[in-house]
């Protein structure tokens, strides 16, 4: 690879041993991918906070103890648990201790303690065209697609090494020419505009879209032009989990696809597919467990719920309390929790019987240890990953269905056009 003077100095160890090691790894990656040079990055999102065993904690501690400082602003992803309520969540003391060690290691390196899998809802986020390095599938998909920043689908620890070096190999989605769409998914006329008032529709379309596209760059046409940012978050998260998607183009919505022509750089789609009523039905069958009759727990916040999401929960509750027969958990980022505590929303949710947790990942739920056998969520991402991580296939439903189930104490299923 062609190196700048500063990059060669890093590789020669003139800027410290840890930057040297980071660049050595990134050089290997670049040579493997056929990159000819590096590109400077100006933001990093670290996904080195979930406890995946002692090796994960030891690696981050090793970096923190080395004295190296991150070269760019770096946000921290969700960890495994609420750092203040870990015992209530059923976590072992050794895991809580490991998380605190990982938190301290990130602090030593100068990371911004966001502790959220939705940093775009926090204090720091990139801008259009900005070269960044990010892990966490939904963050990557949202940053690339909704904001138009540029990152590949990195996995820890590569993104953290990129944050230390301040650059990554110039390949993949860092390169403009690789970001144009190859194929097109169209929504069938069977899918009516008024259906989009139901928040679960976005996850179902995203699941079907990811199943078609895989890890390719495609566009989707026929979506409404006005969105809650939370709907785009949920679309990004589900598409990135049902497929390996790092970038999608939503025609008329996302910045690199204001028109079909723009998304394809003036070329014709190589393939065209359709999402229709059957696609939605099939997607829900994949996400939903039809055998569940009684729900033990409802999990909301995968990715982390926003401040507006929590307000929506209170509106749906309309002063009612949740049933004692069902535990309801909402997971949020640290910034969101602080804001909710300041204006009273946090306490309102607690008084309604809902438990609010910050910083952790809903998918890390200690279900079996706590005797939980059935789960419900409005998250397409949770529905995709839950069985593999918890051994439980959850019920999938809209936020309204989740809240009505929570209040009534019995599973509530609404009539929907795509349900048989």
**pLDDT attached to residue 283:** 97
Tell me which of 3.40.50.2300, 3.30.499.10, 3.40.50.1360, 3.40.50.300 is the CATH number of domain 288-408: 3.30.499.10
Tell me which residue of 360, 307, 371, 308 sits closest to 329, measured CA to CA.
360
As a whole number of angstroms, the distance between CA 26 and CA 214 comes to 26
* The pLDDT of residue 123: 80
CB of 41 closer than 8 Å to CB of 168: yes
Low-confidence ranges of the chain (pLDDT < 50): none
Q: What is the pLDDT of residue 226?
A: 84
Architecture of the 5-177 domain: 2-Layer Sandwich (3.30)
Angle, vertex CA 351, rays to CA 345 and CA 354, nearest 5:
80
* Partners of 44 in beta bridges: 74, 133
pLDDT at 227: 83
Confidence (pLDDT) at 156: 78
Q: What was the pLDDT predicted at 124?
A: 86
Distance between CA atoms of residues 325 and 290, nearest Å: 20
Give CA–CA dist 122/136, Å, rounded: 15
pLDDT at residue number 306: 97
- Same CATH topology for 5-177 and 288-408: the answer is yes
What is the model's pTM? Answer: 0.96
Task: Identify the pLDDT of residue 234.
Answer: 97
Domain residue ranges of the chain, discontinuous segments joined by +: 5-177, 180-285, 288-408
In terms of Cα–Cα distance, which of 52, 378, 419 is closest to 238?
378
Nearest CA-CA partner of 38 in 172, 171, 138, 235: 171
CA-CA distances (angstroms) from residue 80 to 93, 103, 107? 12, 11, 17
């Amino acid at each position: 690879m062609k190196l700048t003077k500063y990059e060669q100095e890093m590789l020669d160890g003139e800027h410290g041993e840890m930057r040297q090691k980071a660049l050595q790894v990134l050089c290997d990656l670049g040579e493997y991918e056929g990159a000819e040079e590096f590109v400077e990055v100006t933001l990093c999102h670290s996904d080195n906070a979930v406890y995946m065993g002692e090796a994960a904690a030891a690696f981050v501690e090793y970096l923190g103890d080395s004295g190296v400082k991150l070269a760019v602003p770096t946000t921290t992803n969700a960890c495994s648990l609420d750092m203040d309520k870990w015992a209530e969540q059923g976590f072992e003391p050794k895991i809580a201790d490991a998380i605190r060690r990982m938190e301290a290691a990130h602090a030593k390196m100068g990371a911004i303690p966001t502790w959220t899998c939705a940093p775009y809802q926090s204090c720091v986020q990139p801008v259009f065209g900005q070269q960044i390095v990010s892990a966490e599938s939904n963050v990557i998909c949202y940053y690339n697609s909704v904001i138009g920043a540029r990152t590949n689908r990195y996995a820890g620890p590569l993104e953290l090494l990129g944050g230390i070096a301040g650059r990554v190999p110039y390949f993949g989605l860092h390169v403009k020419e690789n970001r144009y769409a190859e194929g097109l998914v169209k929504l069938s006329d069977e899918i009516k505009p008024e259906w989009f008032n139901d928040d679960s529709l976005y996850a179902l379309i995203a699941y079907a879209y990811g199943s078609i596209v895989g890890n390719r760059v495609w566009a989707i046409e026929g979506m409404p032009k006005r969105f809650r940012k939370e709907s785009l978050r949920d679309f990004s998260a589900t598409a990135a989990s049902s497929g390996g998607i790092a970038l999608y183009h939503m025609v008329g919505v996302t910045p690199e696809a204001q028109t079909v022509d723009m998304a394809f750089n003036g070329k014709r789609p190589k393939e065209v597919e359709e999402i229709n009523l059957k696609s939605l039905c099939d997607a829900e069958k994949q996400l939903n467990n039809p055998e569940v009759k009684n729900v033990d727990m409802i999990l909301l916040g995968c990715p982390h719920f926003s401040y507006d999401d929590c307000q929506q929960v209170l509106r749906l509750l309309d002063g009612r309390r949740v049933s004692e027969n069902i535990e309801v958990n909402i997971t949020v980022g640290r910034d969101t929790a602080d804001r909710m505590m300041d204006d009273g929303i946090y306490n309102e949710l607690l008084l309604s019987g809902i438990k609010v947790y910050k910083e952790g990942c809903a998918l890390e739920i200690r279900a079996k240890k706590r005797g939980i056998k059935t789960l419900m969520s409005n998250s397409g991402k949770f529905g995709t990953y839950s069985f593999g991580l918890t051994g439980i296939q959850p019920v999938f439903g809209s936020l309204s269905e989740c809240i009505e189930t929570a209040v009534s104490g019995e599973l509530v299923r609404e009539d929907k056009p795509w349900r048989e």
